[in-house]
Amino acid sequence: MNHAIGPAVVRAFRRAALPLAWYYAVTLGLPLANGAAQAGAAFVEHALAVLVLPPVLIVLACVIREIAHVLTESAESIPAGPNGPLRLMKSLVHFTRV
């Protein structure tokens, strides 16, 4: 159960590259072309939010997906029987002590 979040994030950014480019062009390029830069601090705040939030949300979505995947795998590996969950917990406790 060795999962790396890095490749998933890279794949997500590759998939989102073109839509993000269009998003940036529309939300930053058009306002700049229309003189929004003269608005000062308001446009700077808008630009920072537009530039920072999408990558943060992409990484957050990848992390949540990976957590869900790990939880699903561990739920599927619970041994059957009345003591199955107890055996799983003991093996997890033993694994964390190593």
Q: Are 8 and 62 in contact (CB under 8 A)?
A: yes
pLDDT tens for each residue of 9-38: 999 999 999 999 999 999 999 999 999 889
Calculate helix-pair angle for 41-76, 5-24, nearest 10 degrees: 150
> Which CA distances in Å does 42 have to 47, 51, 55?
9, 14, 21
Q: How many domains does the chain have?
A: 1
Whether the model pTM is above 0.75: no
pLDDT tens for each residue of 25-81: 999 999 999 998 898 899 999 999 999 999 999 999 999 998 888 888 776 666 666
Q: What domain range includes position 79?
A: 5-97
Q: State the greatest distance between any 2 C-alpha atoms of the chain, in Å, as a whole number.
A: 69
Give the Cβ contact number of residue 62 at 10 Å. 19
> Which CA distances in Å does 31 have to 27, 44, 87, 91, 96?
7, 11, 60, 57, 53
- Provide φ and ψ at 82, rounded to 5°: -65, -30
Region of 70 on the Ramachandran plot (φ > 0 left; ψ -120 to 50 alpha; else beta):
alpha
